[in-house]
Structure 1
Amino acid sequence: MQLLLPRLEAYRQQLPVSELSGERKAVLQKLIDYIQSRKKEHKEVKLNFICTHNSRRSQFSQIWAKTAADYYGIDVQTYSGGVEVTAFNERAVAAVERAGFHVTKKEKQTNPVFFIFNSEDGEPITAFSKLYDDPANATTNFSAVMTCSHAEENCPYIPGTEARIPVMYDDPKAFDDTELEAVKYDERCQQIATEMFYVFSQIK
């Protein structure tokens, strides 16, 4: 098990994993089964989380899946992508920082590259908006995890996938520039964190 950064570990301890509904557990079971089967066969586990703009939900999912896998000592590669290139939204970046990650930015540009650290010694998670088939992502033997309905409907075929798993989340973008903005981004960040920690806690 990997030691998380202190604030991140405190955040993890407060996640309401035991409160997950049976309905959400059923949604997550296909992802659990995929990871478990790959691990049982001693094959690489590669997950590409896909949402339209690769700016919020898919980024949260990539970051939390990798962090949960690291925490439980499970070798998993996580990626994210979209059907359009935008940027890792600054509101989502702020939510990740509030959760306890250490975040650095490589470049000041319209689509900056962020490095997300979950521990003192581990490698950072690289985060930036990209297409699902960007060269930075896996090209074969991966699972496409669809995190929004728009991407699910508009990506009828994703080359190289072994499995296509819908794990949908509501978009916090609906609350941009409102008094609920930070609350809703934190809420979505926590939901995805909770579910990814549940998923990897089930892997034997």
Structure 2
Amino acid sequence: MTPARFINFFEPESSLISNQFLPHVVVLASLISPAIVFEQSALLAHDASPSSSGVSTLNECTTVHDSILRFIGETDWQKLKQTLPEERRELVTKLVDCAETRIRESRPLRLTFICTHNSRRSQLAQVWAQTAAAYFGLTREDVLCFSGGTEATACNRRTVEALRRSGFVVTETSLSPDVVGETDNVGDPANVREPDSVGEPGSVGEIAKDNVPYEVSFGEQHPAIECFSKVYNQSHNPNTQYVAVMCCDHADQNCPVVFGATDRIAMWYVDPKAFDGTDRESAAYDERNLQVAREMWSAMGELAQRLQ
């Protein structure tokens, strides 16, 4: 048996060797060629590259923090989708239909979640969509998720706290000055505003100070998700060939044209901001966070199955 043939035997997709025997194969491989072990261990330890169908070659649930899975409760996307209200199931199906069409045309599929301030709902949707995609074996060569607003404010601290309560590891980080507060694709610095808790419009310099960037981690095997407020088509985000998912009615109704988007899907969520400063604040954010989580989980699970 040549080393090349042995590598083919070792591929997780292969029907020749069941996954339960892979540890024994590694031991045998180490006796033949250490290079084989290095090559295949690297494949198994990291996000897999996409197969010809656009699905991860591992094509099975990848490591996500247990605390995140406990927050969702049900990780079987089919069972989860059946628990959604009928109108929300229809929206999930519409999103999956569009995503499947676009990912079969070109990869990666790029989803940009949009709400007015890019501070709450669109941030949650970006994080959960990327997390769910990874869980179901869709790598970032398959699906890339972004978020943006019609104005830039800040990723609200209550959003960050809700993500932490649901099991994500969230840390403050830094971005280069040409990214934070940048609006070159929009052309009007007036679109950059202070966080809504401050009230009055601010300068680019002020938003650079208050718009704290975060790294959101959902698993040690995966790169963190960058979260900060931005206008939907500034250079950190794609400005062509992406699917726009409108997460709030205000942005959807007041943004008649989403520049560069191939498709536009209205998937509105009620803003938890109404409960800021009340005794129901945390509960309201957790409720919205869970709704977004379950819908993105259902969508990415179904998309991954369709692409098998």
Using structure 1 for the length normalisation, give the TM-score: 0.95
Distance 2:107 2:170 in 1: 31
Q: CA deviation at 1:9?
A: 2.3
> 1:84 is matched by which residue type in structure 2?
E
Distance 2:241 2:118 in 1: 21
Higher relative contact order (CA 8 A, sep 6+): 1
Gaps of 5+ in 1: none
Which range moved further: 19-28 or 61-70? 19-28
Query: Which residue number corresponds to residue 117 of structure 1?
Result: 217
Are 1:72 and 2:172 matched, yes or no? no
Alignment counterpart, residue 99 of structure 2, candidates 35, 44, 47: 35
Distance 2:86 2:253 in 1: 25
Q: Tell me the alpha carbon deviations over residues 75-130 of structure 1, each in whole angstroms, 9 at most, x when there is no partner.
A: 21000000111110001100000000001101493001100000012100000000
Q: CA deviation at 1:44?
A: 2.2
Provide the secondary structure at the position in 2 that maps to 1:202: helix
Q: How does 1:1-204 map to 2 (within 5 A)?
A: 1-14=61-74, 17=80, 18-74=82-138, 75-107=142-174, 109-203=209-303, 204=306
Which range moved further: 3-12 or 69-78? 3-12
Distance 2:71 2:286 in 1: 12
Gaps of 5+ in 2: 1-60, 175-207
**Percent identity (aligned):** 41
Q: Which has the larger radius of gyration?
A: 2
Q: CA deviation at 1:176?
A: 0.3
Distance 1:83 1:23 in 2: 26
Q: CA deviation at 1:37?
A: 1.2
Structure 1 residue ranges, 4+ long, deviating more than 6 angstroms after superposition: none
Distance 2:240 2:106 in 1: 16
Distance 1:155 1:51 in 2: 10
**Pairwise CA RMSD:** 1.5
Q: CA deviation at 1:159?
A: 1.5
Q: Number of matched residues? A: 204
Provide the secondary structure at the position in 2 that maps to 1:109: helix
Q: CA deviation at 1:196?
A: 0.3
> 1:47 is matched by which residue type in structure 2?
L
Distance 2:108 2:224 in 1: 19
